[in-house]
Amino acid sequence: MYQTIGFIGTGNMGSAIAKAAAKSGQAETILLANRTPAKAAALAAELPGGTLSTNEEIARTAKLIFLGVKPQMMQLVLDPLEPILRKREDRFILVTMAAGLTCDRIQDMVDLDCPVIRIMPNTPVSIGAGMVQYACSENVADSDLQAFLGAFAWAGRFSSIPEFRMDAGSAVSACGPAFADIFLEAMADAAWSVHDHFKGKAAYLNIMKNMSVDCDCCAVAADPKIGDIGILASLDPVALDQACLDLVYASDDPGKADLIERIESLHGVHTVEAAADLGIGTREYELITLD
């Protein structure tokens, strides 16, 4: 548990992490400072333990000092804080989220060999669904890191990455969801080619049995957690897939949770959305039960 965590810069990213800090409940006090103080004040009013502060107070007292300003502002922000940090006799850690600034660069900016944790987060941290890559300066002790990761576990997933890969990792985590959607759309494109080739002379069957969260192309698929639902047929493949999705969501089998988690974590519905947009079929349907 940290006595005090401080955020210098409570814009999009700083405030998202501050919210995660509050949810984690691992800090007695969360100090919030921003160039436009009203922004930090509004956040302080919203967060348990949140207190309006100043850059200087945070530099003097916080055990974790989050630097939530734009990279081009960093030197300007750190210059007046350097003498304050230099006077400290207790251990503190600078946490930078600035794109493109290495741990070494942050140490150079404050002209101090203080421990630095570099993170590359995304805004879903504010709802506990973040993906955060991190790297540390050499003087971050394992106990520092474990305390940090423990305190922010609520924010989402943390992944250690060699610092020289941080820029590439940031690009993947920032643009990755868009690439995943392109792949999902490509599957709809491929389905459209087959559907178009048969020009209405194809019928489609979905067999909702032995439903593993894994694709059947997996060498060793996970065991099914949800019971069999049935066999569905339609001339419209989009309506068919939509009906399958709806049946999973409507199921009263508690095992559906794993399947839904897998569908949602991979944005699986997007293939159905894309197929409907391509005009392969419609997401509207009537379900007729045959005995």
Ligand X SMILES: NC(=O)c1ccc[n+]([C@@H]2O[C@H](COP(=O)([O-])OP(=O)(O)OC[C@H]3O[C@@H](n4cnc5c(N)ncnc54)[C@H](OP(=O)(O)O)[C@@H]3O)[C@@H](O)[C@H]2O)c1
126 or 271: whose CB is closer to ligand X? Answer: 126
Q: In angstroms, rounded to a whole number, what is the distance separating the alpha carbons of residues 32 and 90?
A: 21
* Using rule CB under 6 A, residue 120 touches ligand X: yes
In the bound complex, what is the minimum distance in angstroms from residue 20's beta carbon to ligand X? 13
* Using rule CB under 6 A, residue 97 touches ligand X: yes
Q: How far is CA 232 from CA 190, 213, 216, 242, 262, in A?
A: 21, 19, 18, 11, 21
Contact residue for ligand X among 26, 102, 122, 271 (CB under 6 A): 122
* Using rule CB under 6 A, residue 37 touches ligand X: no
> H or E element: which one contains 12?
helix 12-24
Contact residue for ligand X among 4, 5, 6, 14 (CB under 6 A): 14
* Using rule CB under 6 A, residue 281 touches ligand X: no
* Using rule CB under 6 A, residue 71 touches ligand X: yes
Contact residue for ligand X among 2, 5, 6, 8 (CB under 6 A): 8
95 or 274: whose CB is closer to ligand X? Answer: 95
Classify residue 128 as exposed, middle or buried by CB count within 10 Å of its CB (0-12, 13-18, 19+).
Answer: middle
* Using rule CB under 6 A, residue 34 touches ligand X: yes
* Using rule CB under 6 A, residue 78 touches ligand X: no
Whether 20 and 152 have beta carbons less than 8 Å apart is answered as yes
Give the strands of the sheet with 156-160, arranged side by side. 50-52, 27-33, 2-8, 64-67, 93-96, 116-120, 130-136, 156-160
Residues near ligand X, by CB under 6 A? 8-14, 33-36, 39, 55, 68-71, 73, 77, 97-99, 120-123
